[in-house]
């Protein structure tokens, strides 16, 4: 159920609607919009009677949301959401570019990576301090030491930090250090982690599970919003198919599909999406052309020595080329269509 307020509704009118929702035992979610504010209702197991709200002052209408996901739906919020990560808009006019190694391996490695991202015009630095690895014998990340190096890289360059929380134990520390908490593909349906991320004070980058449908992806985001964190960025990172020419199949058609169904920004990870260095640039360009709000790309100062995902990591020069080519595509689209790329 969505209670749509009239354009001239006052804050007191909105507060009264929220109070009524709470009295009924449900949770209100205030969703400000350009034209009007709406109040989403969650926590109800069955249908809510619209008459409960339609009589209240300032209410335009109370409507049922037809999709199983409510707060992430465009029905609930027609305007596209812009999520700010350390002041960097994701979902706005500009492409947001996040680069950095798969894992934080050392202080020197992450500081060199940060300088290279900055020099290429990127705004965000990625790097896992906690790594979800297929093998228990592979490098698992530096933990808090890695988070400290990321914080130092932020201090030196001003880049916002995106780093993964792999479980409900590590998320407290990740929340303290990061500007954006990444939830990885393997954890897309870790519902206790999603709920905890929903109570975090930082934005969340939610990666699509490697075999998840669009509806499962949006429902995972709904878990986060339902706990009160509305700053969620979705990320397509490839899905498992029969194809064996690439590590995953980058499902770019999910970008326009998400933009039809949801107001949340969606970015693309062409690194995990392809798993091969030579495919990262072409698929990054295609992502921008498909309307992605940004890119998250693996880049390592010396990919051949990387402790994880070196074969899909760009070197700093290749990353700079990707950044400039992607900006050129974004600029071309913007000048031709005269609309923000994120809203294409």
Contact positions vs ligand PEP (CB under 6 A): 102, 128, 132, 164, 184-186, 207, 237, 269, 272
> Of the listed pieces 89-97, 165-173, 304-312, 330-338, which binds Mn ion according to CB under 5 A?
304-312
- Reading the block at residue 60, the tokens are 């335009």
CB of 164 to ligand PEP, least distance (A): 6
CB of 165 to ligand PEP, least distance (A): 11
238 or 294: CB nearest Mn ion: 238
| Contacts with Mn ion, 96-115, as mask; x by CB under 5 A | ------x-------------
CB of 17 to ligand PEP, least distance (A): 39
297 or 344: CB nearest ligand PEP: 297
> Exposed, middle or buried by CB within 10 Å (0-12, 13-18, 19+), for 81?
buried
CB of 67 to ligand PEP, least distance (A): 25
237 or 300: CB nearest ligand PEP: 237
42 or 246: CB nearest ligand PEP: 246
Is 309 a binding residue for Mn ion by CB under 5 A? The answer is yes
28 or 294: CB nearest Mn ion: 294
CB of 337 to ligand PEP, least distance (A): 30
The per-type count for the chain, helices as H runs and strands as E runs, is 11, 14
Q: Which residues contact 280 (CB under 8 A, 6 or more apart)?
A: 270, 271, 274, 297, 298, 312, 314, 318, 322
Integer Cα distance of 73 and 75 in angstroms: 5
Angle between helices 214-226 and 191-198 (to 10 degrees): 50
CB of 171 to ligand PEP, least distance (A): 15
Q: Which residues contact 193 (CB under 8 A, 6 or more apart)?
A: 165, 167, 168, 171, 183, 187
Integer Cα distance of 132 and 134 in angstroms: 7
Would you state the torsion angle of the CA atoms of residues 89, 90, 93, 94, taken in this order, to the nearest 10 degrees? 90
Query: Which residue's Cβ has the minimum distance to ligand PEP?
Result: 184
Name the site residues for Mn ion (rule: CB under 5 A): 102, 309
């Amino acid at each position: 159920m969505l209670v749509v307020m009239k354009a001239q509704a006052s804050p007191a009118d909105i507060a009264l609607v929220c109070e009524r929702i709470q009295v009924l035992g449900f949770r209100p979610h205030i969703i400000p919009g350009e034209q009007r504010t709406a109040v989403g209702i969650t926590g109800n197991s069955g249908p809510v009677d619209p008459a409960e709200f339609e009589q209240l002052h300032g209410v335009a209408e109370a409507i049922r949301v037809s999709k199983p996901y409510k707060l992430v739906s465009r029905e609930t919020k027609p305007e596209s959401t812009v999520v700010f990560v350390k002041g960097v808009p994701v979902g706005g006019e500009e492409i947001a570019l996040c680069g950095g190694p798969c894992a934080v391996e050392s202080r020197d490695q992450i500081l060199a990576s940060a300088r290279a991202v900055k020099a290429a015009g990127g705004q965000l630095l990625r790097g896992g301090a906690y790594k979800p690895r297929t093998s228990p014998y592979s490098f698992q990340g530096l933990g808090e030491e890695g988070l400290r190096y990321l914080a130092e890289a932020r201090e030196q360059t001003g880049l916002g930090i995106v780093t993964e929380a792999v479980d409900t134990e590590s998320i407290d520390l990740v929340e303290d250090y990061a500007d954006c908490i990444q939830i990885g593909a393997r954890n897309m349906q870790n519902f206790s982690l999603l709920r905890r991320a929903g109570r975090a004070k930082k934005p969340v980058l939610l990666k699509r599970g490697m075999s998840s449908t669009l509806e499962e992806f949006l429902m995972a985001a709904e878990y986060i919003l339902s706990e009160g964190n509305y700053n969620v960025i979705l990320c397509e990172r490839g899905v498992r198919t029969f194809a064996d020419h690439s590590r995953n199949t980058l499902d770019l058609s999910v970008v326009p599909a998400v933009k039809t169904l949801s107001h949340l920004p969606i970015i693309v990870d062409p690194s995990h999406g392809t798993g091969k260095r030579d495919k990262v640039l072409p698929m990054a360009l295609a992502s921008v052309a498909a309307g992605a709000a940004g890119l998250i790309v693996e880049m390592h100062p010396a990919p051949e020595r990387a402790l994880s995902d070196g074969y899909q990591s760009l070197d700093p020069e290749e990353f700079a080329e990707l950044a400039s080519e992607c900006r050129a595509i974004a600029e071309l689209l913007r000048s031709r269509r005269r609309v923000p790329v994120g809203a294409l």
